[in-house]
Structure 1
Amino acid sequence: MRIGGLQKVTLLDYPGKVACTVFLPGCNLRCPFCHNPALVLPDRATGGLSTEKLLAFLETRRGKLDGVCVTGGEPTLYEDLPALLRQIRALGFAVKLDTNGTNPDMLEALAQEGLLDYAAMDIKNSPDRYAETCGGVDLLGPVKRSAALLMAGAVDYEFRTTVCAPLHTPEEMAGIGRWLKGAKRYFLQPFVDSGELVGSGMKPLTKEEIEALRDSVLPDIPSTQIRGQ
């Protein structure tokens, strides 16, 4: 497995833990607001390190870091992801997985084997606009299976949506609320234009606009929060 990148310490990526973040390259979606094109688009891939070097680094961080966040790209595309997580857990680290939810079979297998302590699943938009928001890729069925799996208690979790114009409106957010009614944790993440995006035409929302989106979800998901506020 090729590791796309490593952030050696983070206080943000894994709630409540001091962690590092491991980036796995490659993704099966093309969300226009994605700010990691080097991890999504093969022709933009750069650098990386081997699994052996990653594990050697983690060995030096035993007792210093609490956990490891595995993100992408989309980590569940890798058939050898379970083997990597077993090695990470054998070193004593908690594991958080970031996923787009398009591979429910892998997610379920990881949960059943006890390889995950926390999962953060991206919810791209309401069901009606899901394929559009993913760059035209229609994988709503598997995404719904993954969401249901998490809500059934397979592993501790959060849902999160990166919100931007013109894709996210109060109507779309209300649709998400109806779909994920009663979710344990749901975060709205403000889109930030880094200048390096997969697509074009995306614009940040104002604080007031994001609060209006939150208010559209709150009746169905009272746990909804705006990340960073």
Structure 2
Amino acid sequence: MLISGFIKNSLIDYPGKIASVIFTQGCNMRCKFCHNHELIPINGSYSNYSEDEILYYLKKASGFLDALVITGGEPTLQFDLEDFIRSAKQLGVLVKLDTNGTHPKLLKKLIDEKLIDYVAMDIKHILDLSPYRELVGNQFSEHQLESVKESIALLKEADIEVEFRTTLIQGSQSADDVRKICEHLHCSNLYSLQKFNPLQVLDPSFAKRSAFSDEEMFSLMESNKDIMPNIRIVNAD
């Protein structure tokens, strides 16, 4: 595992739980609004923490720590992710995985083998190639888009906690786009509308973009509750 960041204790990354958070190195997307773009290169020289360090802390903190959150980057790029999660689960913690949904086969295996308890999956745009590429980069392929759709279908049926989430940016998505995403999801899972933050983004042009106003976010939430009853607003990307 290439682990470039580690937060020992967090109250916001796993709802209702005290969690440690690790940030894996490497991502197969180039989201123009990404705040963690130093995590994009898939390069071992960026790894700052060993698996043993993380597992040692989880064991030491087992008296008050509930969970481990694995985020990135894109954690499913790590060839030894499954082995690491097995080691963490043996210490009695819940495991939450943040993913962009491009590796559904691994996701299914982790779910089937009860290695993850919570998945938060980002949905960047409507499920069409051109708008997705506008946000995540032209390297994004039709095959990856189909993988994203497969992961959505898998998670809608999974017997674990699932959260879908979309960061909303003026000039990138419209109210109609949000409606289309909700229609594609059409489930009882949690759906988080995240408010865009223009600070320290990967693409400098996105630093000039605006977030939707609180009133607009509220309207988007209310107008889609008929399809996604557990829709909510989150203020940070």
TM-score of the pair, normalised by structure 2: 0.90
Supply the RMSD in Å over aligned alpha carbons: 1.8
**Partner residue in 2 for 1:200:** 204
CA distance in 1, matches of 2:79, 2:106: 8
1:71-90 CA distance string (max 9 Å, x none):
00000111210000001011
What SS does structure 1 have at the residue aligned with 2:226? coil
**Partner residue in 1 for 2:146:** 141
Which segments of 5 or more consecutive residues in structure 1 lack a partner in the other structure?
none
CA distance in 1, matches of 2:49, 2:189: 35
Which segments of 5 or more consecutive residues in structure 2 lack a partner in the other structure?
none
1:162 aligns with 2:167: yes
CA distance in 1, matches of 2:204, 2:173: 15
CA distance in 1, matches of 2:226, 2:82: 37
**Partner residue in 2 for 1:212:** 219
**Partner residue in 2 for 1:131:** 133
Tell whether the 8 Å contact from 1:171 to 1:216 is kept in structure 2 after alignment: no
Which amino acid counterpart does residue 148 of structure 1 have in structure 2? A
Decide which moves more: 99-108 or 130-139. 130-139
1:78-106 CA distance string (max 9 Å, x none):
12100000010111111000000000011
Decide which moves more: 23-32 or 53-62. 53-62
CA distance in 2, matches of 1:183, 1:140: 23
Tell whether the 8 Å contact from 2:111 to 2:158 is kept in structure 1 after alignment: no
What SS does structure 1 have at the residue aligned with 2:216? helix
CA distance in 2, matches of 1:149, 1:181: 13
Tell whether the 8 Å contact from 1:25 to 1:74 is kept in structure 2 after alignment: yes
* Mapping 1:1-229, distance limit 5 Å: 1-41=1-41, 46=46, 48-128=48-128, 129-136=131-138, 137-138=140-141, 139-194=144-199, 196-202=200-206, 203=209, 204-228=211-235
What SS does structure 1 have at the residue aligned with 2:194? strand
CA distance in 1, matches of 2:123, 2:70: 17
Quote the offset at 1:42 in angstroms. 5.1
TM-score of the pair, normalised by structure 1: 0.93
Quote the offset at 1:58 in angstroms. 1.5
What SS does structure 2 have at the residue aligned with 1:4? strand
Tell whether the 8 Å contact from 1:118 to 1:155 is kept in structure 2 after alignment: yes
CA distance in 2, matches of 1:224, 1:190: 13
CA distance in 2, matches of 1:144, 1:103: 11
1:162-202 CA distance string (max 9 Å, x none):
111211210110110110012411011111122x2222333
What SS does structure 1 have at the residue aligned with 2:205? coil
CA distance in 2, matches of 1:42, 1:178: 34
Quote the offset at 1:47 in angstroms. 5.7
Identity of aligned residues (%): 39
1:101-131 CA distance string (max 9 Å, x none):
0000110010111100110011111113223
CA distance in 2, matches of 1:70, 1:47: 14
Aligned length: 227
Which amino acid counterpart does residue 32 of structure 2 have in structure 1? P
CA distance in 2, matches of 1:47, 1:83: 18
Quote the offset at 1:18 in angstroms. 0.5
Tell whether the 8 Å contact from 1:3 to 1:23 is kept in structure 2 after alignment: yes
Tell whether the 8 Å contact from 1:177 to 1:218 is kept in structure 2 after alignment: no
What SS does structure 2 have at the residue aligned with 1:85? helix
Task: Give the direction of change, closer, same or farther, for the CA distance of 1:178–1:152 in structure 2 (3 Å limit).
Answer: same
